[in-house]
Amino acid sequence: MSYCVNCGVELKDSEKTCPLCDVEVQNPRAPWKEPAERPYPGRLEPVLKRADRRFFATLATLILCIPVAVTLLSDLLTDGMLTWSGYVAGAMALLFVWVILPLYCKRYYLLRLLSIDCLATLAYLKLIEYASRGDWFLPIALPITVAVSVLVLLCALVLRNRKRFSVGVRVACVFFAAGLATVAIDVILAHADDGSWMPRWSFYSVLPCVVLGVVAILMSRHNRLREEIRRRLMY
Amino acid sequence: MKLDNAAKIYPAARRRNWMALFRVSATLSDPVDPAVLSTALSRVLKRLPGFAQSLKRGLFWYYLEHNDGLPDITPDVANPCVRLIPKENRGFQFRVRYYNRRIAVEFFHVLTDGTGGMIFLKTLVAEYLRLKYNAGIPCTDGILDCGESPRPGETEDAYLKYAGSVTRSRSEKNAFYIKGTEDPDDVHIVTGLIPVAEVLERAHARGVTLTEYLTAVLILAIDGIQRRSGVRRCHMKPVKINVPINLRRFYPTETLRNFAIYVNPGIDPRLGTYSFDEILRAVHHHMGAEVEEKLLNARIATNVRTELNPILRAAPLFVKNIAMKLTFNMVGDRKTSSSLSNIGVVRVPPEMEKYVRRFDFILGPLSRNRVVLAALSYRDTLVLNFTRTIRESMVERDFFRFLVREGIHVTIESNNQP
């Protein structure tokens, strides 16, 4: 019969260390030896392991390489140079950065990954502009991409902080961000068109976004209404 | 057979690696003979067809279908209550395991609750003892006669039968969540064996029941963990314990399916530091106020009304599954920090008592809560089984150390391998 010197509990013969504090059993008169019968067998029930995300990411990358290789090859074989296949390769690269790259990370590093997403989008748009000999990257694509990325980042920061922001505030934040994004796009397009900073059409989309956002906040503050909706929906 | 009201959420809430399981076991005086146990099981399943069921997907709901087969009796494992894969279990929603002198049955909650599970186990063990030793065990104390035909009342949905018309809000604040190093691949079981008279004496001296006393000790242990975590007092979360209440105490039913409802006694640490006696008073008065037939009935009515909601009923199963999974993830066990399920006193006839050394009750890991406690008393021993899926054993440590400080003798064993 041994007792844990830390916890004061009696330990069954099967326990080599105290299961409560991990301190080894010290009993000079009866040193620990394997008992004839343990309370549980040694065999473990196999548990389904989580799918290895990195393995899945590598598999998805290899699958993505197939359309890239096929289009590059067929483009090259047709006229001996790369023309249209660049769009496909660029789109696949963008898909890789947006979807597969986060799977390689142990956790979602918001700022770093969103910055990389933004840069990759800009690079792809620049490639399209270069290939189509356009002149829209600096006045339109760059500011819109940066503005939308900043809004997505702000939204994600609010959505992540569950402790600080209630569900209603988080839903409202998404609506407000959507409204702001349309204003930003409107202003950038107007400025690129005739140099004015006046929004033209975004009013029609901002209004419902603001109203829905305010409704979401009001609903989250109204306990009885919130409870009623929850009850009607399910529990 | 339709799922009962409480069981409806469990199939939807299942995950790849988790489902709501619990386990009851009996330790005999001699090693178990699996062949005899299998024969006993086949007889018991004929008497209790409510357990010989496979879970099927219908268009609108999951349902149970009678299974004519017999599940394999398998050797026990070190990590009980790991997800049950019906395909590997001939479609059955429970499994029977043996190890040396122990017979254990693990149930998916879709079939039954702790009380129903214990009746199944006692009937199985009694039948095993009759076959093995020709023991003359009478069919009393919850042991069913395998020679009888099944009674219809045993498979009734008592929630639907007894639900009233007045409902009650289920709204509650989220509770403190015990954090630790995740160890999802392993289930740690720590068992405390305590002389029941010693605990009862302490509980009765303070004018509370055994369950209230244990709940208060558990709250004290978890409250200490939150206070030591360095969270500012204004940001502390309530510490609440989910305590299932057996509704058979209040309604005359012989159902062996789920028939329990939960109360969540607890404290709000933002209000200040609670002494043990204050926690005990809070738990005692909460249980006194909540565990009352009329209030419990209003809660049953709330759950039943949700089930009878015409919009929900009309939705196809895959839509219901999404809604129920979302609800379970949002509500589930977020409202409590841990769970304490006390089956109470397990009684068997004296003819059987000489063959059975011990009974155990183990809750499977919960979806979110990392430490849960199950209790029962048999003969003069209170058996407390902690189930944990994190590495740190601080809850059990503080819990049992408190009992030792109270002058109670505690014996510990675990499923740790040396």
User: Which residue type occupies B404?
Assistant: V
- Percent of chain A beyond pLDDT 70? 94
Q: How many CB pairs under 8 A join A and B?
A: 121
pLDDT digits (tens, 9 = 90+) for A143-161: 999 999 999 999 999 998 8
pLDDT digits (tens, 9 = 90+) for B281-292: 999 999 999 888
Nearest to B412 among A20, A44, A232 (CB): A20
The sign of the CA dihedral A218, A220, A222, A226 is: positive
Q: Are A47 and B191 inside 8 Å of each other by CB?
A: no
Distance from CA of A48 to the nearest CA of B (A): 6
Q: Are B393 and A19 inside 8 Å of each other by CB?
A: yes
Q: How confident is the model at residue B211 (pLDDT cuts 50, 70, 90)?
A: very high
The domain spans of chain A are: 1-36, 51-107, 117-229
Q: Are A11 and B397 inside 8 Å of each other by CB?
A: no
Nearest to A12 among B101, B323, B412 (CB): B412
The domain spans of chain B are: 9-161, 173-297+330-414
CA closest to A35 among chain B residues: B418
- Cβ neighbours for B247, distance < 8 A, ≥ 6 positions apart: B158, B162, B253, B259, B260, B261, B296, B300
Determine the average pLDDT of the residues in B158-183.
Answer: 83
CATH topology of B9-161 equal to that of B173-297+330-414?
Answer: yes
pTM: 0.79
Taking the C-alpha atoms of residue B130 and residue B132, their distance in angstroms, rounded to an integer, is 6
Question: Has residue B308 got a pLDDT over 60?
Answer: yes
pLDDT at A83: 83
Contact list in A for residue B184 (CB cut-off 8 A) is: 47
User: Which residue type occupies B279?
Assistant: I
pLDDT digits (tens, 9 = 90+) for B122-169: 999 999 999 999 888 898 888 998 888 888 888 888 888 888 888 777
Mean pLDDT computed over every residue of chain A: 87
Taking the C-alpha atoms of residue A68 and residue A38, their distance in angstroms, rounded to an integer, is 59
Distance from CA of A80 to the nearest CA of B (A): 51
Beta bridge partners of B266: B240
Taking the C-alpha atoms of residue B370 and residue B392, their distance in angstroms, rounded to an integer, is 10
CATH number at B173-297+330-414: 3.30.559.30
CATH number at B9-161: 3.30.559.10
CB atoms closer than 10 angstroms to residue A157: 13
Query: Looking at the predicted complex, does its ipTM rise above 0.90?
Result: no
Q: Are B312 and A234 inside 8 Å of each other by CB?
A: yes
CA closest to A2 among chain B residues: B411
Determine the average pLDDT of the residues in B216-224.
Answer: 95
pLDDT at A235: 42
pLDDT at A50: 64
Degrees, nearest 5: CA angle A196-A199-A203: 170
